[in-house]
Amino acid sequence: MDHLAAKPYRPWNPEQYQQQAHSPRSKLPDGDLVFFLLEVVPGLNLRKFYAHYEAETRGAPPFDPAMMVCLLFYAYCVGVYSSRKIALACERNLAFLAIVGVDRPDFRTISDFRKIHLQTFKETFHQILRLAHELGMVHLGNLSTDGSKFPGNASRHKAMSYSYMKKEEQRLQDEIAALLERAHQQDAEEDAALGSRRGDELPDELQRRQGRLAKIQEAQRRLEAQAHAAAEAERQQRAAAAAERQRSGQKRRGKEPGPIVETPDAKAQTNFTDPELKIMKQNNKGWEYSANAQVVVDGAFQIIVAGEVTTAANDKEQALPLAEAAKANLTAAGIDWPKDEQGQPRKIPNTLDSGYYSEQATKDLEAMSFDPYIATGRQKHHTPEKDVAEVAAEATAKERMQAKVRTPEGKALYSRRKVIVEPVFGQIKGARGFRRWLLRGLEKIGGEWNLICLTHNLLKVWRYRNVDEVTKKLSIIY
């Protein structure tokens, strides 16, 4: 076709391009992430990945675990999480081809490898954390904690309330009884048409109803067990409060609490697709069955020190488990707790938003050698701030924390929280496109979150340290 203008264009010859051999090394930049990972991953301790295959002598030889680990690391770093999409990228993406070469795993192999080694990846998280520390990227000067709710791989429409379960159970039982009665009545007439079959097989419609009834009854037992556990926890809490009042001689404030209810609330719901998820409110998106992802992030280079997943929508009880996870990960990574001039453990500042505040959380963090700075709520406009010196000795724990956060040191530490931990979720959700869990079940979701946190740390190492420095450190560590 003749062009309307005599504008020169670059030559385009797709027939010629189709015949050319494209080498990833010649086409991708030298500092590309894929080449960084190809240098770093073989230097990690991957013995447990290999151990799974050592005793298996059947079938064809498996793919090299180091290659599969490198493939998953790169895919998660660039925001490709589906095993089918990873397999497709291995056929048409130069960076993925640089990892797998001509022998490309299919999506089932990738999916199975991820499921088999989800727990092993947790140990790899410790290795990357130790590497970051050895490279001077973990300072433990300000550990910031936050959480974000991610929708699960479960539909709202595959859920049912406890009251509706009761109605549905009765309806199905009535239908099953009617179908059984009809089957007995028709037995004599159907004998001639059954042929070689025994004649005692259940009709398809009866099998479907019995299967659905079994699922509903299982969901009822699940809700009843949760209600019983909640009632037992409430009973223990009331007993502890009563013992404390008897010890201190104080009277109960407010009204006498009502009786403890052992049965589920009529509106209590459970999901049939992923029963472990809980319904949670999403930002501007209504309600979804979700899990609450939590992180503890070091303030120097936004390295994630701990990443956990919970089904609790409220963060109030998560401060202690996250602190315990951070301490355990530091120990597993061989990172010593900082000490003061007297050789005693130094308290590490820990900044948290108001969702984590409680008097008990403050005590727990302090007992674990953390120095908590927790917002206690929104400050009302035109409210005068109290200086620490003005806070009386008989002030409440909440008032003391408010005054602590408002000190010059407290303001300096807490103001950093918004540039330490909050951008981490922005990078994971916005830059890497991870917005929903792919796997089902809390244990698998926890492993999935560990992979997200691990690759987040790998990306930080890649951006701030050169590959020669990293491989040299790895050779010393392992």
**Interatomic CA distance for residues 145 and 413, integer angstroms:** 13
Average pLDDT over residues 109-130: 95
Average pLDDT over residues 19-33: 84
**Interatomic CA distance for residues 336 and 300, integer angstroms:** 17
Q: Where are the domains of the chain?
A: 23-117, 139-154+276-446, 157-193+200-251+258-271
**Would the pLDDT of 38 be above 90?**
yes
**DSSP one-letter string for 364-392:** HHHHTTEEEEE--SPPPTTPPPPPGGGS-
- pLDDT, position 7: 67
**Parallel, antiparallel, or unpaired for β 287-298 and 278-281?**
antiparallel
Instruction: Give pLDDT tens digits for 317-328.
Output: 899 999 999 999
Residue 62: closest CA among 107, 113, 97, 96: 113
Per the CB < 8 A criterion, the answer to whether 260 and 235 are in contact is yes
- pLDDT, position 79: 96
| 93 alpha carbon, distance to own chain's centre | 28
For residue 28, the SS3 value is: coil
Instruction: Give pLDDT tens digits for 137-183.
Output: 999 999 999 999 998 887 766 666 657 566 666 766 666 677 666 66
Average pLDDT over residues 452-469: 94
Q: Which residue has the higher pLDDT, 155 or 416?
A: 416
**Would the pLDDT of 57 be above 50?**
yes
- pLDDT, position 477: 85
- pLDDT, position 424: 97
Sign of the torsion formed by the C-alpha atoms of 380, 384, 388 and 390: negative
- pLDDT, position 399: 85
- pLDDT, position 22: 76
Average pLDDT over residues 384-400: 66
CA distances (Å), origin 332, targets 104, 111, 124, 128, 131: 34, 28, 11, 11, 12
**Would the pLDDT of 284 be above 60?**
yes
- pLDDT, position 35: 93
Comparing 49-63, 120-134, 268-282, the range with the smallest average pLDDT is 268-282
pTM of the predicted model as reported, rounded to 2 decimal places: 0.80
**Parallel, antiparallel, or unpaired for β 143-151 and 348-352?**
parallel
Report the mean per-residue pLDDT for the chain: 83
Average pLDDT over residues 364-382: 83
Which band of pLDDT confidence, cut at 50, 70 and 90, is reported for residue 283?
confident
- pLDDT, position 204: 67
Residue 339 backbone phi and psi in degrees, to 5: -125, 155
**Interatomic CA distance for residues 456 and 478, integer angstroms:** 22
- pLDDT, position 205: 66
Which band of pLDDT confidence, cut at 50, 70 and 90, is reported for residue 23?
confident
| 203 alpha carbon, distance to own chain's centre | 43
- pLDDT, position 214: 72
**Interatomic CA distance for residues 298 and 140, integer angstroms:** 6
Give the pair of three-digit tokens for residue 228.
């019983």
Which band of pLDDT confidence, cut at 50, 70 and 90, is reported for residue 347?
very high
Which band of pLDDT confidence, cut at 50, 70 and 90, is reported for residue 6?
low
Residue 241 backbone phi and psi in degrees, to 5: -65, -40
Q: Which residue has the higher pLDDT, 118 or 249?
A: 118
Which band of pLDDT confidence, cut at 50, 70 and 90, is reported for residue 15?
confident
**Would the pLDDT of 90 be above 60?**
yes
Q: Which residue has the higher pLDDT, 206 or 99?
A: 99
Residue 439: closest CA among 283, 281, 254, 277: 277
Average pLDDT over residues 389-414: 81
Which band of pLDDT confidence, cut at 50, 70 and 90, is reported for residue 124?
very high
276 pairs with which residues across the strands? none
- pLDDT, position 118: 93
- pLDDT, position 1: 47
- pLDDT, position 245: 73
Comparing 33-42, 290-299, 303-312, 387-396, the range with the smallest average pLDDT is 387-396
Q: Which residue has the higher pLDDT, 350 or 290?
A: 350
- pLDDT, position 81: 96
Average pLDDT over residues 268-289: 75
The H-assigned helical ranges of 298-396 are 319-332, 359-367
Average pLDDT over residues 201-221: 67
- pLDDT, position 179: 66
